[in-house]
Copies of this chain bind each other. A is one copy, B any other.
């Protein structure tokens, strides 16, 4: 007899019934070929004694296995492993010699190149400079908990569960509609709103409706990495337009439009990612004019509009005269923090109709629970209070970092204090071996987790994004100190 006492180890703390644990152990043994078809099993009495369990438990386990054709119960002979097992051979997912997914005539799939991304898993004392994330400690946890409680109470929970509006939950959309009208001068009704899981899904859904393989898409150079990934994955050909201190070069956009059929333009007018430049007034008007003249489809990614330091009044392009050609995309993630991914698309009703049906394919119902919670935060004014509080704080941190940098580095690092947002774009002198500097900094406890561009990475830039919003002044000082030391170590 096999050493069942060891093979059938019972986890009393587990919430799986003991009889079922035994049954699953047997299934494993059978799958692993340790118990072959026809093998006789110990009687319930013997096994019960061996395992120190009640006989009824063993009987229940055997019945379970018989019901599943794992065992046969033979008169007089007792229980044997079934000669015809419902499933055979184990370890299908581990079996890499057999190749699995990318072998065989019938099976091929789209492979993705590996890419680096701003991972920011904080480890102990390390200081992390992120890509520009909010300070999560500002989150009104109590207010949110109140909303979670409210959403979990029965009548409300029933309402949330049984409703299904394709464009997002009604309460959230009406609260959001009010918020956007108030803050962005957008003249919209809820019919112009679709909720998504963060701005990423908004961009994906909108782009997937518009782009066919081979279509030309105008993006800035540099541009938001994950948006370019979407366009390229959809088969678009990217036309890259440089960004200067006024933002995207709209004169060069016009030159392209004169000679080529362009399907879509992607622009980030506020605190452009990664450079944090804000699109100037003349450029805005020029772009709106191009949109009208060429009936150009535009995705306006306004991911951190809510954080503008000057009473800078630039409204979104979408509040201008674009004849419905601008698809306006935003998110509450920069307000509430990375775990809370509520984004939205503002567009003409017909487009929202199609976008909602595209979203269903990807994400049947959306996050109606979180939507209910955040609708509460908007209605209570908690969201606005959070924005006002954060905006003030981030503005101070931006100034503080700016002063630190200019006094510490002088010419070595070139930067322009952004009009808002949560990150600064630090451009290093051409000579500076940025990759080395970042490695040195890491070895001294400073992890640069923001977007980095340097010649070694095939870019013409020698820069990275310094997220200042999530660090207090002490953190900013420490980060700059380490960065300075790292630069010295690399002899710059």
A interface residues, Cβ below 8 angstroms from B: 14-16, 21, 23-24, 27-28, 31, 63-65, 67-70, 84, 86-96, 98-112, 114-115, 117-122, 128, 130, 133, 136-137, 139, 141, 144-145, 148-149, 152-154, 157-166, 182-183, 185-189, 192, 197-198, 200-201, 204, 208-210, 226, 229-230, 233, 261-263, 281, 284-285, 288, 294-297, 310-315, 317-326, 337-341, 346-351, 353-354, 357-358, 360-365, 367-370, 381, 384-385
Contacts and interface: CB of A to CB of B under 8 A. Distances in A.
Interface of A is mostly: loop
A122 B285 contact: no
A116 to B, nearest CB: 12
A96 B189 CA distance: 14
Nearest to A68: B313
Contacts of A186: 93
A198 B364 contact: yes
Contacts of A230: 361
B321 A86 contact: no
A365 B333 CA distance: 11
- Stoichiometry, copies per complex: 2
Contact of A93 (B120, B152, B188, B200): B188
B319 A87 contact: yes
Contacts of A364: 198, 200, 226, 341
Contacts of A368: 338-339
B112 A353 contact: yes
Given A14-B182, A109-B210, 7 more contacts: A67-B311, A104-B325, A120-B164, A144-B152, A197-B363, A200-B361, A201-B363
Contacts of A325: 100-101, 104, 106-107
A104 B102 CA distance: 43
Most buried by B among A27, A86, A108, A118: A86
Contact of A105 (B108, B137, B294): B294
A362 B360 contact: no
